Amino acid sequence: MAKTRIVFALYPGVTHLDFTGPHQVLVRTPESEVVAASLGGIDIEAEGLTFSNLADLAAIDRCDVLCIPGGFGTTAAIHDEAFMAQIRRLGAGATYLTSVCTGSLILGAAGFLRGRRAATHWAWRGELPAFGATVGEERVVRDGNVITGGGVTAGIDFALVLLEELAGRDYAEAIQLGLEYAPAPPFESGRPELARPEVLQVVQSRMAAGGAARAAATAEAAAKLARA
C-alpha cells in the first residue's frame, strides 16, 4: 500500500510557523511521507530561519495532500509563473488541497477555490472573493476536499482536522495530547473582534504596508483565471 504523500510547497518569504506548526502534527501521520519542497529545491529563508535539503517541486510526480503555507512572500509567489505552474500541476491530482493563512490566496490564484468556502488571515479575507471563493471566518474551513486554516497559529488546528481525516479522531486526539496542545493565551487579543481598538489599529497599520501590492497581485491573478 502506497504511503500518503503530504507536500508542503515553500517559497521565499513564507511564514515559518505556517509551515512548522502543521508539519509538527502531520509528520506523525501513519503510513505517510511528508515532503517539504521549493522551486528548484532552493533553500528558503523565513524570518531568520533557513530551511534546506528541500525537494524540488518540479521533481515531485504527485501528492495526496498539497499544503501551501502563507506569508508576506505570497504576493511574489502569485507572480511567479514557474512556481504557480507546479502548484496547479500537483494540485490537479491531489486528494486534498490545503493551506494556512494567506496560502489560500495561492490556491485561489491557481484556480482551486472557485465556488468554495475558504479561510485566510483576517487581514486578507477581502482578497478571496476575487478568486470566486466565499470567505469563511472560522479558524478552519472545510469545503469538500479543500481544507484551509486562518492566520498562522490556526495551522495547528487545521493540521489536527486534516489528521482526523487521514487517521481517525482517536489518533488525532492522541497526537494533540502528546503535543500538549491546549491553548490558553495570556491575552484575549487573538482575533480582531476581541482585540482592543488601539491594538487593532496598530496591527492594521502594519498589514497595510503590503496591502496595495497584494491587492494588485490578486487582481492580476483573478484576471488571468477569468481569461483561462
What is the reported pLDDT for 76?
Answer: 95
- pLDDT at site 40: 98
pLDDT in tens, 73-83: 999 999 999 99
pLDDT over 90 (residue 227) = no
Nearest by Cα to 97 from 169, 148, 32, 140: 148
pLDDT tens track for 134-175: 999 999 999 999 999 999 999 999 999 999 999 999 999 999
Query: What's the grid cell of residue 192?
Result: 480582531
Angstrom distance (rounded) from CA 36 to CA 18: 13
Residue 161 to residue 181: CA distance in whole angstroms:
13
Distance CA 200, CA 183 (A): 21
What class, spelled out in words, does domain 4-227 have in CATH? alpha beta
pLDDT of res. 124: 95
For residue 105, what are the contacts with CB-CB under 8 A and spacing of at least 6?
Answer: 70, 74, 78, 120, 124, 127, 128, 131, 214, 218
Which is higher by pLDDT, 215 or 57? 57
C-alpha span between 77 and 68 (Å, rounded): 11
On whether the CB atoms of residues 75 and 103 are closer than 8 A, the answer is no
Supply the pLDDT for residue 119: 98
The rounded distance, in Å, linking the Cα atoms of 127 and 79 is: 15
- Dihedral (Cα; 28, 32, 36, 37), 10-degree rounding: -170
Average per-residue pLDDT for the chain = 96
The pLDDT, as a whole number, for residue 166 is: 98
Residues assigned a catalytic role: 101
Distance CA 56, CA 184 (A): 38
pLDDT grade for 222, boundaries at 50, 70 and 90: confident
Q: Cell digits for 96? A: 486534498
Residue 5 has pLDDT above 80, yes or no: yes
- pLDDT tens, residue by residue, 109-132: 999 999 999 999 999 999 999 999
